[in-house]
Amino acid sequence: MKAINQLLTGTKRNYPASLTAQERAFGRRLFYRFYALNGISVACLMHNILVLYAIRNGLSDSMVAVLASFIHLAMPFMILGKPAIARFGAARTRGLGWFFRYVSACVMILAPVVAPWTSQAVVTALIMTGAFGFAAFRSIGVAAVSPLWGEVAEKDEQGHFISKSQTRAQIAYFITMAAVILGFRYIDEIWLYQLVLGTGCAVGFYASILITRVPESTTPSDSARQSFSEAIRSSWKDPLKRRLISTWCTGMAAYAIVLPFMMIAVKNGYGVTDFTALLFALVLVQGSVASSIVNRKIADRLGAHRLLLIYVAGLTAVAGFWSISPNQFFPLVVGAIFFLAGSCEQGIRIGLNQYFLAATPKEDRVGISVLMRIASGAAAGLTGSVAGGGLLEMLAHFGLEGLSVYRYYFAIILAVLLAFFLVLKNIQTNNAIKENNNEEYSN
């Protein structure tokens, strides 16, 4: 309780002008612990568990698509993170955002409790409200992520640091998902979902306290005091920053229109049980872990641009499979596709973050990070909820049902991903020219 009180009421620390090598190393160690804990809480509260929990509580496909897009649609709340960093510092802002995201997540646990005495609309409202609050407070905390990464990792170790952090998170995610799946193998009850969500919240509360201890200099706070309008003007005038934002929008939208809909397709298209669906979620995590380990070795060598091209091409292949998916359910084939999709999602995330750190000076990171994540969140959220969810509704309206709905959906998405790949290819070519002439942006 003392630690929580300090998080909520503590005063701003006195920050040095720069961090020592020992302070940066300590900060990286804290990040590794935080990401391991975060991997546990994410496994319990996000992605596939949340999608299956929503379906189990009676939400429609379109509502599930919107819910899955909240993580992107709530990105404008990052604007609130900017003044928070200026006032409290980046580490405490991250901690406060994470703490209140789990407070919001607790609301979702109430849905099955009130279900016997109320309507489906109320149950849906509780889950959607809790999920949106979870995403909104997450966005406030995310404003501090890139500036903190830049504080604890020097330029020549950023790719390795990000990949190692993500490896810890994905391994913890994998172990947690394995335990959850084992539970659902023997207990197929709604209360187990509630227990899983509650466990994620408890671990998340501890992680939110841990992250506040990451050391930082005055740079994040000073950067956060720059006006948001100045960040917009700076990005508009600088071709490299414009390309950075365009790349983030394209990369985030690419996996937002693929991954959530794969789980909906395997659950509602093939009609598998929750246990089977969670097994594929575990395979998805295995792909992410493998990608994190591989990228830890190659990220700094290949550079962000090549990583993004490789992994968007991989997602295009995933969409291609679902567009011609067979009527008969082949678990090994579907598992391979989930593995590939998980590898691509993680690779895109690592490539985007590496690109940001390489392309943005430290003094601009808060404002540009907020602008970039809001723009990319809007792009991913709108493509996932409006385009994706709306497309599913339209296909159902035309009389399609079962697996046919998802075949047509992914056939359309395949064309979109091909367009994304061409956009990224052009961006990368332009950036490659820029890198050859400017050591500041070299890989």
Assess whether pLDDT exceeds 50 at residue 436: no
What is the rounded distance in angstroms from the CA atom of residue 81 to the CA atom of residue 138? 10
- Contacts for 338 with CB less than 8 Å, ≥ 6 apart: 262, 280, 281, 283, 284, 287
CA 242, CA 235: separation in Å to the nearest integer?
A: 6
Of 426, 76, 417, the residue nearest 243 (C-alpha): 426
Residue 360 lies in a domain: yes
What is the SS3 assignment for 14?
coil
Contacts of 4 by beta carbon, 8 Å cutoff, 6+ apart: 99, 205, 209
For residue 278, the tally of other CB atoms under 10 A from its CB is 24
Quick one: pLDDT at residue 402?
A: 79
Confidence of residue 431 (pLDDT cuts 50, 70, 90): very low
As to burial, measured by CB atoms within 10 angstroms (0-12 exposed, 13-18 middle, 19+ buried), residue 157 is middle
Cβ pair 307, 350 in contact under 8 A: yes
Judge contact between 45 and 110, C-beta under 8 A: no
Tell me what pLDDT residue 144 has: 86
Tell me, yes or no, whether 443 lies in a domain. Answer: no
Q: What gap in Å lies between CA 105 and CA 375, rounded to an integer?
A: 25
Residue 107 confidence (pLDDT) above 90: yes
Check residue 206 and give its pLDDT: 92
Predicted local distance difference test score (pLDDT) of residue 435: 41
Q: In residues, how long is the chain?
A: 443
In a domain, 126, yes or no: yes
Report the predicted TM-score, pTM, of the whole model to 2 decimal places: 0.70
Structural domain contains residue 414: yes
Assigned token pair, 415: 């064309």
Please state which of the ranges 113-117, 126-130, 166-170, 194-198 shows the lowest mean pLDDT.
166-170
Rounded-to-integer distance, Cα 69 and Cα 90, Å:
26
How much is the pLDDT for 416?
A: 85
Residue 138 lies in a domain: yes
pLDDT attached to residue 157: 67
Contacts of 443 (CB under 8 A, 6+ apart): 300, 301, 302, 303, 304, 305, 358, 435
Local structure of residue 71 (DSSP, 8 states): H
Average pLDDT over residues 254-268: 83
* Residue 430 confidence (pLDDT) above 60: no
CATH of the domain at 232: 1.20.1250.20
293: pLDDT confidence band, cut at 50, 70 and 90? confident
- Which DSSP state fits 268? I
Task: Calculate mean pLDDT across residues 428-442.
Answer: 38
Tally of domains within the chain: 1
Residue 115 to residues 53, 123, 148, 204, 221: CA-CA distances in angstroms?
14, 6, 42, 26, 45
Is 90 exceeded by the pLDDT of residue 127? yes
Domain that holds residue 107: 19-436
Letter string b/e over residues 70-83, b meaning 16 or more CB atoms within 10 A of that residue's CB: bbbbbbbbbebbbe
* Higher local confidence (pLDDT), 156 or 395: 395
Q: Assign 41 a pLDDT band (cuts: 50, 70, 90).
A: very high
Q: How confident is the model at residue 131 (pLDDT cuts 50, 70, 90)?
A: very high
The most confident of 140-154, 230-244, 287-301, 337-351, by mean pLDDT: 337-351
